[in-house]
Every structure is written in structure tokens, then in C-alpha cells.
Amino acid sequence: MNRKSRDIERRSRLLVDGRRGAGPVVYWLSRDQRVHDNWALLCAQQEALIRGRGLVVVFCLVTDYPGGEQRSYHFLLAGLAELARQLAELGIGFVLLRGDPALALPPWLHRIDACTLIGDFDPLRLKRQWQRRLLAEIGIPFIEVDAHNVIPAWIASNKREYSAATFRPKYRRLIDDYLTDIPAVIRHPHPGPAASPPLETDRLLGEVTGRRAGPVNWLVPGETAGKAAVETALNDRLPGYASRRNDPCGNGQSNLSPYLHFGQISAQRLAWRVSGAPLAEEDRQAFLEELLVRRELADNFCLHESDYDRFAGFPAWARQSLDEHRGDRRPYCYSLAELENGGSHEALWNACQRDLVATGKLHGYLRMYWAKKILEWTSEPEEALHIAITLNDRYSLDGRDANGYTGIAWSIGGVHDRAWPRRLIFGKVRFMNEKGCRRKFAVDDYITAVNLNHRRDRF
């Protein structure tokens, strides 16, 4: 077995066997929306080449996805339009289906007499439900590939990890073997189904139900733009990352999380580039810790904890401590609508919310503070969790993601954290406030910058 086949095989697993049809190999693309550096597409092409079949990529557009807004659909559809063009240049078909994949895919697969189905790994509940229902309806082999993580989530750990401290040693034992260069997809030599017409992205965007958050204009979607953003990060943003990453005024974030969320860039390719870049070692290690260990720990949490977005998913010590403080008096208590409109008494929190609404992105350090204040200003932790997830999924370009659910669970429920000295409302969950932020960065400068940008974006 050559290296390429070995790398594909160990990132893949056969979930169900069956009778192969006489038609093309199908890649059901979902989480990893790119042509290049995509192990799932490479797996599908290898299967098609071995069997002398055509190759087609299919995407199922669900226009009422929970938390989905015009903002996220615009980013998704623009990326898919570019992906379809790139696939056509490689002799690979692309088909867009509408609706629930478990309902839309089976009749289409039957109609084309599909040979084999390849699908993306995703730890989120709705995606896994789609997959289970789909597997019950199809009679062909289904292969799942984790092209989102560098180490497949089911290999990195077979259980829910308590913290980064327990996950990191397991991860580091494997990473050198998995962090490799990625082979290129080739022009496919076997014809497949007739090409679909170009995507009418404006018309499709009109079908989306979410209307609260419109597209942003500071970030260009798609694989090509994502690769350009990687170059900008390597040259301009990652030097000094270790010292600047917690300063929202310091231009120290990579701005790559939307591209990673939509799978328009590969985390493995990014890590490969960072590993070989002329960066200070402290900057390289700080960034790789976030990109690899912390990001893949989030997938571990959502894969092994079915209640990743519920109070029941918090560790026992945090649930007990929060329960003990349910009756604590809240000096301030806000509704979802008040918080969504940036209507708290605290200028920094309001600026964070306006920043999120206007740009679709909130600095990582501030997102922790933002979520913890929601816990402090709501009647119970369940309500805080609901509001934080609702606002993050609704407005953030990288919302509806394992990283988001895990980050909010860390902020509100102590997931992957330890118990801290007891406080009112928070119990033993880590506390953050504006005073602590002022020790980290120039809070007033951030508030001023957000207010100016917010007014310009709206007027």
C-alpha cells in the first residue's frame, strides 16, 4: 500500500457495507467544503479510480438549518459556487439537492445507481441524526472520512476527555505521524453524470428563512480567498501571536475561523504551513495549540457528550456548584432581546455584542467574557446557555460549530476547566469581568473602535 492509500485508509471507516451500484462514486460533501486538501474527496476519487467509475459531489442545502442566517448562507453558497467551478475543471460533477439529506439523498442515489457513498465526519447531533437515518435507507457502502481534523476524532481518543491536559499527551503521541503533506486531487478520467447548471446563489439565498443577520463585507468567502487569508496570517498576524492573541486591539487573531468552520481551508494544510514557517517558536506553538489541541478537543467533547449544548453536559462539580447558587440574587437580569440589542449596563459587553452583530466575529478572549456575563445576568444557567448559543449561532460566521458549543460550555459550565474559589452566581465556575479585561488590553480603545465601525456599518 502506498503512502497516499494508507493516509486515506486511516482517516476513513466503513459504517455500512452493501451492494455497489453500476453508477458513479458519490461524495456527500457537508462539513469540508473545498476541493483541495480534502481527504474525503481523495477517498472518493480513489474508490472511483479503482472501479473505473465517474465521480460526483453532492451537497444538500437545508434552508432552515437551526441558527442559520443570511450571513452564514451567503458565505456557504459563495464558497459552493466556486467549488462547483473547480470540480468541473477536474472532470468531477457537482449536484445541489434541497432539503433534509436523509430524505433527499436516497431517491437520488437510487436514480443514478450510485456505486459507493463517501461522507464527511461531523460530531454534531443533527448531522449524526441525518447520517443514521440515511444509513437505514440506502443499500450501498457508506464510508465516513474525517477531513476536518488532523487526527480523526475516533482515533485521537475513544472517550470524552476531561481537559486539554488529558487530551494533549494522547494527541502529541500521534501528531507527527498524521501531520503530513496532502496529495493533490487529479483530473478525473472517467465521465460521470451530466454537469449541473451554475449555482444561482442570489435565488438560493432568497429561500433562506433566517433574516436577522445579513452578509458581512469585510471577508471574502471561498477556498481561494481562504488560501489568501492563510498567507496574510502567516506573514502579518502570526508573528507575535503568543503575546498579542489575547488583545482585541492588537491585530493578533488569524481571522481564519470562518474558513475553518465551513471547511473552505484545511486545518491540516494550515498546520503543515505553520510548522514550516519562519515564526518564533513561541508563536508557532501557541497557534498550533489552538488550531490542533483545543480545536480537536472540541470535536472530542461533542462526539462523546450527547448533551454538549445542555446543562447536563457540564461536569458534575460545575452542575452541583451552579445548583447551589441558583437562588443567588442577580443585581441585573436581562432577556434575550435586551442582550441581542446590546442593552446591558456594561459598555464593554455591549460593544462585544455590537461587534458580533456587525462583523460576524468576536475576538476569542472577549467571547469568553461575553458568555460569562450572560451567566451572571440571567435567571439560571440553562437560560444563559440558551441565550449564548442562540446569539453565537445567529450572528457568528463560525457559529453552529463544535468549537462554539464547547467554548460556551467552558465559559458557563466549566467544561475542560477546573473548580475555582466560590463566588455568588458562578459558584466554582471561573469568573471574568471588565476589570480583568482592563488588565489585558485597552478596553476604552476597543469600545471606541467598535462604536465607530458599528455606526459606519449601519449608516
Mean pLDDT of the chain: 95
Non-local (6+) Cβ contacts of 92 within 8 A are: 45, 55, 56, 57, 185, 188, 192
pLDDT (tens digit per residue) in 425-445: 999 999 999 999 999 999 999
Could you tell me the pLDDT band of residue 455, with boundaries at 50, 70 and 90?
A: low
Q: What is the DSSP letter of 344?
A: S
Summarize pLDDT for 399-421 with one digit per residue, the tens: 999 999 999 999 999 999 999 99
Q: What is the pLDDT of residues 255-289, one digit of tens each?
A: 999 999 999 999 999 999 999 999 999 999 999 99
The CATH number of the structural domain formed by 311-458 is 1.10.579.10
Domain covering 3-148 in this structure, CATH number = 3.40.50.620
pLDDT exceeding 90 applies to what percent of the chain? Answer: 92
Q: What is the mean pLDDT of residues 66-90?
A: 96
What is the reported pLDDT for 457?
Answer: 44
At 447, the amino acid letter reads I
Q: What's residue 116's pLDDT?
A: 98
Task: Specify the residue for cell string 465551513.
Answer: 262
Q: Is 344 left (phi over 0), alpha (psi -120 to 50) or beta?
A: beta
Backbone angles phi, psi at 185, to 5 degrees: -70, 145
Instruction: Report the chain's C-alpha Rg in angstroms.
Output: 22
The per-residue pLDDT for range 175-196, each reduced to its tens digit, is 999 999 999 999 999 998 877 7
Reference 416, options 425, 435, 432, 403; nearest CA is 403
Q: What residues does each domain of the chain span?
A: 3-148, 152-184+223-304, 311-458
CATH pick for 152-184+223-304 out of 3.40.50.1100, 3.90.320.10, 1.25.40.80, 1.10.1040.10: 1.25.40.80
Which pLDDT does position 454 carry in this prediction?
A: 63
Q: What angle do CA 202, 205, 206 make, to 5 degrees?
A: 90
Higher pLDDT, 451 or 108: 108
SS3 of residue 433 by DSSP: coil
- In this predicted structure, the answer to whether residue 459 has a pLDDT above a threshold of 60 is no
